[in-house]
Amino acid sequence: MSNGESPGLYIHVPFCRTKCPYCDFYSVTSLSLIPDWLDGLRKEAVFYKDHFAAFDSIYLGGGTPTLLAEHELAALMDCLFNNFTFSPDTEITIEANPDDITLDKLGVLRGIGVNRISFGVQSFDDKELQYLRRSGFEGQTEAGWVQTIKRALDFRPEHLSCYQMTLEEGTPFGKMLAQGRMKLLGEEEEREFFLLTSRLLEKEGYIHYEISNFAMGKEYISRHNSKYWRHVPYLGLGPAAHSFREDVRWWNLGSIESYCKALVYGKLPVAGSETLSEEQHRLESLYLGFRTSAGVDLELVRNQPRFDMILSELQESGLVQVHMGRAIPTREGFLVADSLPLLFADW
Ligand code: SF4
């Protein structure tokens, strides 16, 4: 499926003003490291020059890329355009903190070619925001969540991503969970939140095209993120960035210091890599496919023992529909998406 599709380019901008207590992404608050990071990026880009076909998506993620000053953003884009080729209609996305966005900043982003801004919002409810910043308040309620979605809808966004907060070990919230000072939603509540969100947004005209993603029309589906779900090649630059090409996945050193040091010594800052076997590739395709409304090509599962029976049971229980040779998860199917591939595993 990935054959011939243009690759995507991801840039990890690992800087944030403060560190959120639930965040597991690599980012630092020492903005004085920005020049070193930019130098590192310039060196890393040279390594991959001429190694990828023309990209048709750039994603500036983080971290908080909108923290970068105008000259830093311009230097970053210069580095990309000097080393790589891009199709004329390249999708250029930046993750933005609403606090950083002023009219001036929007002009700057437009000026460097950004045509898609992804705003990160934790909640529009003050009480919930307080909860996220320090613990001790009640967590998110269904009513609070509905309010937050409705508030988001007031802006008529073309695209919405709704993620359930996960508490990763090692984050302050993860530690509080381990100490019993925080609790997560129960399975049933989680299910209710998910179904409610999906129904509400579909009623408003959004396509629920991936477990956590909704688009106002096909043209607003994230081109860049869709590559991750279909094994389309992508190159990630910056500390902790991941890349994928021809069944090889590799990832960079996870700190600015070690990343820059490797590059200063003329080495690629790669921390590790793995090559997918044919079966791993197939299972990943199932895992990723069942998380999207594109579903899974039946050819990927047809040779499995009891294929017909499993598929009929999934259809009867309303978890999957079959359409044009593909098994498509329903809204309820999304809820068990991670278990569906196991039914077709080659044990
Ligand atoms: S702003 Fe985003 S990347 Fe930065 S600490 Fe918070 S959640 Fe993590």
Q: Where are the domains of the chain?
A: 8-229, 288-343
Instruction: Name, in order, each residue with C-beta under 8 angstroms of 199's C-beta and a sequence gap of 6 or more.
Output: 331
What amino acid is encoded at 322 in this protein?
A: V
Instruction: Name, in order, each residue with C-beta under 8 angstroms of 97's C-beta and a sequence gap of 6 or more.
Output: 17, 64, 66, 67, 119, 120
Element (DSSP H or E) covering residue 172: helix 172-178
C-alpha 265 – ligand 1 centre gap (Å)? 30
Q: What is the DSSP letter of 28?
A: B
C-alpha 43 – ligand 1 centre gap (Å)? 26
The verdict on the CB of residue 133 being under 6 Å from ligand 1 is: no
Structure tokens at 7: 């690759």
The verdict on the CB of residue 119 being under 6 Å from ligand 1 is: no
C-alpha 97 – ligand 1 centre gap (Å)? 9
- Taking CA 26 as the corner, what is the angle to CA 125 and CA 94, rounded to the nearest 5 degrees? 65
The verdict on the CB of residue 62 being under 6 Å from ligand 1 is: yes
Instruction: Confirm whether pTM is higher than 0.95.
Output: no
> E strands along the chain, which residues?
8-13, 55-62, 86-96, 116-119, 159-161, 207-210, 213-215, 234-237, 242-245, 248-252, 270-275, 296-297, 320-323, 326-329
Q: What is the DSSP letter of 188?
A: H
pLDDT in tens, the chain (347 residues): 455 799 999 999 999 999 988 888 999 999 999 999 999 999 999 999 999 999 999 999 999 999 999 999 999 999 999 999 999 999 999 999 988 899 999 999 999 999 999 998 877 777 777 776 665 445 678 888 899 899 999 999 999 999 887 778 888 888 888 888 777 778 888 899 999 999 999 999 999 999 999 999 999 999 999 999 999 999 999 999 999 999 999 999 999 999 999 999 999 999 999 999 999 999 999 999 999 999 999 999 998 888 999 999 999 999 999 999 999 999 999 999 999 999 987 66
Alpha helix stretches (DSSP H) within 179-247:
187-203, 223-229
The verdict on the CB of residue 63 being under 6 Å from ligand 1 is: yes
C-alpha 21 – ligand 1 centre gap (Å)? 9
Distance, CA of 225 to CA of 13 (rounded, Å) = 17
